[in-house]
Chains A and B, each alone.
Chain A
């Protein structure tokens, strides 16, 4: 299309993203390895998803941010519609309705929703009429609705992990937009007050159990605490340098559940040790800093958009790794760019493509 654009791509951003994807492929080539076929089907598929993701990243890069801004509420609406669709037509996976089968592709609307919400909330917060001295209680009603609808729909699936991520992402964005201190305090107290009835009536038993076993995984080491204990052992046993490629005993003996998806970090930590884990965390840190840097150079909408996506990546990696190493409860959340799975990989690439679009635009259309 246009050579100039290609030259103006933020190569640091793309480089970091691809580096993280390479770690993902490396880990999957070990954890998904099947001795019977001498290959890893997970690796092959993931490579395909990454290729699709890079394509999506580039396509998004070349779409102007103003276009994203224009369609933001529409994308948000589509996301909500799909969530409603899941209620009626969704496939049940793991006891919750999360998948929507569109014949050509099966996808998780909750992942689409994350991007939709970031776009919509970004556009709302970037309004020219936004209160200068921070949001008061009344000002928060509209954004409250924008956040509340998808969160409630996802919570009802039930997918506690994703619902919490949505709240954390949008909370971060609201804070970034500026909220009055009084309101912040008030929100804190209401959260505490609301937590009790939500705990009693809002949560399913297995969700409560997960939180309880997180508090004390030894309560139920064979049932709900099993994931927590086994992944802690896997991570710890990796030591400083790791057990080596394809040598993780916990991994290769399939002690870990969902070791390709939610618990993939434990495979990395077991086989590549503290060094491997630290490398990945550093890459994430630089990636987020780079996004902040890009955010600081854009217009208001671009800044909110970039910040929201940084928050999206950050919270999801923090909750995921926190759960793997036993400092947070076990919730079904993927590790950005690393966990195996098409929807997850592609939606992160697209999100980062939006950031890339911000970066390109800055250079090209100034």
Chain B
């Protein structure tokens, strides 16, 4: 019994072996501890106490923006910042004095920059004292590095716009996120933004912020006693933002901007078959490069105080009376509804009588006209009668079906909805005169009065007519490209509705009539004729009633010039709408601009031999003027 309790000798010896094994393993731990704590103790003490291991942010480059042919429209350049870490500095005063002496900046200014941000920073957080320093300053600072403990030169990506002012309002700019926006984002649980981060503030940069913005990386660096980064211990790479391909064609955009030079206005070019925006111009414009890093106060003030408001995108947010371009809608409605005037002739004596006299543009009158001739000559009298026959309800139905009175839904900020009135609207807006009166429709018949449109709406309206009633949402971004994985997300055109109620022949009739506007002998759009290509369209001259700066403008000048054209008439591939503020008559004021855009479009297709504006050829395609030497792809983490 007793013996059974006692374990055998084999087990006893195993216990002894186990004891030895435990001793050996623990000895390994002790030796390792001795090495770390006693032998290397001072080294680790230094690392821990002086916070010698620092986390440094690696800024992710924003995605690039290219046009429909792959030409870079927005990309990144390296920007050199002079940065200091307060904790590494013994004497800020003498240090800033040396920096000031080397860079030629004033010491007080530098001191103020340091002061302005001290209470918002974390310990050991680097702060920028010179943003986007020039190369000479950087070279001098680097040469004197040993005299400047605590000073570091960091490289971060900044936006560059090779075409400068091209499509400025459309592309938009980036700048540091505001404290309010930062708070807003944090409230909804978005912690990805920090103070000082760049964020898209307008245009494509704002709308596609989520895609364009990359994910910042970070690295752990060991710094020496002077705060200089000596060794990279490791890093998490940044992830660049996604690239965006626009539907825009830089050549068309530039042709339009050149044609609009020194004028205030807008141009929209659409592909009527899918809603792609080929050009979207608003003038005056501004050089986006002034926002490349941070905009200077004087530049910003000048931009904001410019009476012509260069930052407004007139093509989508400017609302104007449509002028006679609205007659395309009335013509379509007349044919579709089989109004008497669709086939009957009417006589224009030079005025229209309803209570009072409404004058026609041609004082002596157009004489006897049919619908086609009325559209061609833009006879107001004919359309007054036509609109009365049509009535506001049907007019409203057709105009809104073609998109007037509501935003087109293009993915850009600040789009206006414009206005197209109906009975309801009058009741709400004229409490003293709430009932719709027959004469209310008369100004609208010629694109005045209770209606307002944007250049984009006119282009979309025309595109819908010439493509046979397919109402597309205009769009600007074709493709989102993930450069890290090569994945591409293609954005498909969006067909919002088809106007099935309108017979196909009505659309064809309007196209044919609109062709005579350009190609007929008495057509108002004769200036837009192209050799070998049939162009159709409609001009418009919108009265502008307000006075500017209390000066009475001369009567020619106070009208806005409109034109909308499409070509080729049989199978339209492009629709261009042009508005020139105070541009005078549509045909002469806006026509030549539309023509230059059409010319560029068909020239590139090889259907035209030459351009009427030789300047445009010179600037065609690819050639980018560079201020400095060419900047290739830049690795952004090579300062160690």
Residues of chain A at the chain B interface (Cβ within 8 Å): 172, 175-176, 178, 218-223, 225, 229, 232-240, 249-250, 255, 269, 273-274, 277-278, 281, 284-285, 288-289, 292, 295-296, 298-300, 303, 307, 310, 314, 318, 321-322, 325-327, 366
Contact = CB atoms under 8 A, between A and B. Distances in A.
A37 B283 CA distance: 64
Given A221-B234, A285-B26, A307 B18 contact: yes
Given A222-B218, A236-B40, A240-B38, A300 B7 contact: yes
B110 interface: no
Contact of A237 (B15, B23, B44, B236): B44
Given A222-B220, A318-B29, A273 B37 contact: yes
Given A221-B220, A237-B41, A300-B7, 10 more contacts: A172-B18, A221-B235, A222-B218, A223-B236, A235-B37, A274-B37, A274-B38, A278-B30, A284-B26, A314-B25
A237 B22 CA distance: 27
Given A176-B11, A281-B26, A237 B45 contact: yes
Contact of A236 (B7, B25, B41): B41
A234 B47 CA distance: 9
B231 to A, nearest CB: 10
16 contacts: A176-B18, A220-B236, A225-B234, A229-B220, A232-B44, A236-B40, A236-B44, A236-B47, A239-B38, A273-B37, A289-B19, A299-B5, A307-B15, A314-B22, A318-B25, A366-B5
Contacts of B42: 239
B33 A235 contact: yes
Contact of A218 (B40, B44, B48, B234): B234
Contacts of A326: 32, 36
B7 A237 contact: no
Contact of A281 (B7, B30, B220): B30
Given A219-B234, A303-B11, A325 B49 contact: no
Contacts of B38: 239-240, 274
B37 A234 contact: no
B143 interface: no
Contacts of B29: 281, 318, 321-322, 325, 327
Nearest to A313: B22
B219 A325 contact: no
A318 to B, nearest CB: 5
Interface core residue of B19, B34, B37 (most chain A CB under 10 Å): B37
Contact of B53 (A233, A249, A285): A233
Contacts of B235: 221-222
Contacts of A289: 19, 22
B10 A222 contact: no
B30 A237 contact: no
A298 B26 contact: no
The main secondary structure of chain B at its interface with chain A is: helix
B508 to A, nearest CB: 62
B18 A292 contact: yes
Given A176-B18, A318-B29, A325-B36, A222 B219 contact: yes
Contact of B33 (A175, A233, A269, A288): A269
B254 to A, nearest CB: 46
Contact of B44 (A233, A255, A322): A233
B553 interface: no
A289 B22 CA distance: 9
Contacts of A250: 48
Interface core residue of A234, A239, A288 (most chain B CB under 10 Å): A239
A8 B40 CA distance: 47
Contact of B55 (A222, A233, A274, A318): A222
A127 to B, nearest CB: 13
B234 A220 contact: yes
A292 B20 CA distance: 11
B120 interface: no
B123 to A, nearest CB: 10
A184 to B, nearest CB: 14
Closest 10 CB pairs of A and B: A236-B44, A239-B41, A221-B234, A237-B48, A237-B44, A221-B220, A236-B36, A274-B37, A237-B45, A299-B5
Contact of A296 (B7, B10, B25, B37): B7
Contacts of A325: 29, 32-33, 36
Contacts of B234: 218-222, 225
B236 A298 contact: no
A240 B22 CA distance: 24
A96 to B, nearest CB: 24
Contact of A285 (B5, B23, B220): B23
Contacts of B10: 178
A235 B48 contact: no
Contacts of B44: 232-233, 235-237
B33 A295 contact: no
B139 interface: no
B372 to A, nearest CB: 72
Given A269-B37, A303-B11, A325-B36, A237 B19 contact: no
B120 to A, nearest CB: 20
Contact of A274 (B33, B45, B220): B33
B302 interface: no
B28 interface: yes
B43 interface: yes
A281 B25 CA distance: 11
Interface core residue of B10, B34, B234 (most chain A CB under 10 Å): B234
A300 B14 CA distance: 14
A292 B18 CA distance: 8
A89 to B, nearest CB: 29
B634 interface: no
B233 interface: yes
B48 A234 contact: yes
A310 to B, nearest CB: 8
Contact of A239 (B26, B37, B53): B37
Interface string B40-79: 1111110111000101000000000000000000000000
Contacts of B233: 218, 221, 229
Contacts of B15: 292, 295-296, 307
B4 interface: yes
B12 interface: yes
Contacts of A303: 7, 11
Nearest to B220: A221
Nearest to B34: A274
A244 B594 CA distance: 82
Contacts of A321: 29
B41 A233 contact: no
A234 B49 CA distance: 10
A363 B10 CA distance: 23
Interface string B487-510: 000000000000000000000000
B379 to A, nearest CB: 75
Contacts of B23: 285
A277 B28 contact: no
Contacts of A318: 25-26, 29
